[in-house]
Amino acid sequence: MPATTKSKTATVEEIVTQLTAAVHEHRLQPGAKLREDEVCDIFGVSRTLVRQALRSMEFEGLLTIEKNKGAFVSKPTLKEAREVFQARALLEPSTARAAAERASAADIELLERHIAEEHAALDQDKAGLALKLSGDFHLVIARIADQQTIEQFLRQLVSRSSLVIALYWRRRNALCESNAHHALVDAFKKQDGDNAEELMKGHLLDIFSQLDLRERQDGGTSLRDALKR
């Protein structure tokens, strides 16, 4: 889908949706600046609507708005990168156990569709989209577990994880080497909570081990290019 143009005025929600997707799919890199006038021009809206959209993304932790400087895609520090995965390691194993004990046939089918979409994205060389779908997979598990409060926490953690991976991912081809999501779904089919919990622990540790926790330079992709489909 092409970026919105002046011929069609976008809503705040549409602006947030498109910019958020660009961040999660790594088309907009951490540190990238979002100039208000450029966002206005691309979406054909006023500065008031753009500022509402940018503030919404700041609230979600995706943007950092600096006085007299503007809005930038958030750039997690090395300390935050470690803390994000430590927090996920505390929350997600028990969530996987609960999901395994509750998962229905429809839930299993939904998770398998997610995996198929991940692989399709990888086959099309869309690693950023595959990583976004991978994050969504984890949120679906929390939903299956019926842990709404944890799901809200995880939504923010997964968003931050996307930024961390954009900065510090060491081996981008490692994503297609992992069968962790398949193994988790197999555990859910068997309602094996113990195995699901251990698999999630190992999966998160594996992701963390693929991070190269050194400083990175900001990405230079233009906003207009990042919004192209």
Q: Which of 60, 75, 90 is the last residue of a domain?
A: 75
Q: Name the burial class of residue 94, with classes exposed (0-12), middle (13-18) and buried (19+) by CB atoms within 10 angstroms of its CB.
A: middle
> Do 39 and 83 fall within a single domain?
no
- For residue 107, give every residue at least 6 positions away whose Cβ sits within 8 Å of its Cβ, in sequence order, or none: 99, 140, 144, 188
Q: What's 44's domain CATH number?
A: 1.10.10.10
Amino acid at 62: L
Query: Tens digit of pLDDT for each residue in 50-70?
Result: 999 999 999 888 899 998 899
> Do 151 and 106 fall within a single domain?
yes
Amino acid at 218: D
Give the helix/strand (H/E) hosting 199. Answer: helix 193-209
Q: Which residues, given as ranges, of the chain have pLDDT below 50?
A: 1-7, 173-174, 176-177, 229
3-class DSSP state of 95: helix
> Do 138 and 109 fall within a single domain?
yes
Q: Which of 47, 75, 103 is the last residue of a domain?
A: 75
Give the pTM.
0.76
The predicted structure's pLDDT at residue 198: 97
The predicted structure's pLDDT at residue 121: 87
Residue 111, phi-psi category: left (phi > 0), alpha (psi -120 to 50), beta (remainder): alpha
The predicted structure's pLDDT at residue 176: 45
Domain tally for the chain?
2
Q: Which domain holds residue 124?
A: 78-209
> Do 47 and 119 fall within a single domain?
no
The predicted structure's pLDDT at residue 83: 94
> Do 59 and 87 fall within a single domain?
no
135 within domain boundaries? yes
Q: Measured between alpha carbons, how far is 91 from 88 in angstroms, rounded to an integer?
A: 5
> Do 98 and 183 fall within a single domain?
yes
> Do 82 and 71 fall within a single domain?
no
3 within domain boundaries? no
Determine the Cα angle at 186 with ends 181 and 190, to 5°. 145
Q: What's 192's domain CATH number?
A: 1.20.120.530
Residue 224, phi-psi category: left (phi > 0), alpha (psi -120 to 50), beta (remainder): alpha
> Do 110 and 124 fall within a single domain?
yes
216 within domain boundaries? no
